[in-house]
Amino acid sequence: MTGRPHVVALVVTDATATFELAVPCEVFGLDRSDLADPWYELRMCAAEPGPLRTASGLVVPTTHGLDGLLDADTVMVAACRPAIQRDPPGDLLAALRAAHARGRRVVSLCSGAYVLAAAGLLAGRRATTHWMNGADFARRFPDVAFDPAPLYTDDGDILTSAGTGSVIDLCLHLVRRDHGAGVANEVARRMVVPPHREGGQTQFAKPLTARREEVGLAPVLAWARDRLHEPLTVAGLARQAHLSERTFARRFRDTLGVTPLQWLLQERVRLAQELLETTDDPVEAIAHRTGFGTAPNLRRHFRRITSVSPATYRHAFRADRVPVAAP
């Protein structure tokens, strides 16, 4: 398969966080044309006079200025220092508005949401940022539908992420949108990270005891994933976890940010995505294999969670459209 690569223009300001800058370099900057050809082209676009460095002192080799945003496919604003959060450069805001007006997909990583909000791109939109900045962000930008809970938000042409590790989640989500779950899962395997994390960032804003609870739920989550085709219930999951149903439901929600039934639906839809990509099974058979029982039930939940029908998803992300890596 040939064609023009999808250009990701990463906006870089001085003293940005090293990790938040490194993740898009890892996901989009490495040659992964064995997975999808063409892959991405990553541009490092300076928003300030150089040389620019990360917060830890590493020099960032920018190759473009803000003009590099205008013909990109995705414009990504990396995390920024507090001074930029409070008062972003006017030329950066103008460049973001112009790129969005041209139909570019615009993404913020962590505190980069401040820049998107200052540019007016998040007005009336659902957005998130690092939980430590939540109260300040909501106060500064009351016109934004700020949501402190998710790891990332996807509003079509505007996406935002929470802090640090959530940047991985959002970048893999973009790969999943562009190339399908199979490719995103393989990128995750190569990075040795989960292809999708459950719940939201609120689980990480809690004391350490809540994180220990998450480890305690891991066996029952693995048990349920192996039995998605069965008629699983909250009561059955609670018995497997050796907890009362009420305690299990409360701990599940506190730890993962969703109810057990919401989690089951998400996992079943995710399995359905994999089967739609990798098999020729009819929708009726996939409905049984994923625990939905009937094709209409699968279609209803699949569309609600992914916004498309199983048939549309299969057409867009068939595995045989993706080049197979050489052994």
Domain coordinates in residue numbering, the chain: 6-191, 206-257, 263-321
pLDDT in tens, 148-187: 878 899 999 999 999 888 999 999 999 999 999 889 989 9
One-letter amino acid of 133: N
Q: What pLDDT shows up at residue 207? A: 34
**CATH second-level architecture of 6-191?**
3-Layer(aba) Sandwich (3.40)
CA 176, CA 221: separation in Å to the nearest integer?
23
One-letter amino acid of 104: R
CA 107, CA 127: separation in Å to the nearest integer?
10
DSSP one-letter string for 263-300: HHHHHHHHHHHHHHHH----HHHHHHHTT--SHHHHHH
Assigned CATH class of 263-321:
mainly alpha
Q: What pLDDT shows up at residue 257? A: 66
* Residues 200, 186 contacting (CB under 8 angstroms): no
pLDDT of 237 above 50: yes
Other CB atoms within a 10 A radius of the CB of residue 177 amount to: 15
pLDDT in tens, 87-125: 999 999 999 999 999 999 999 999 999 999 999 999 999
pTM for the model stands at 0.68
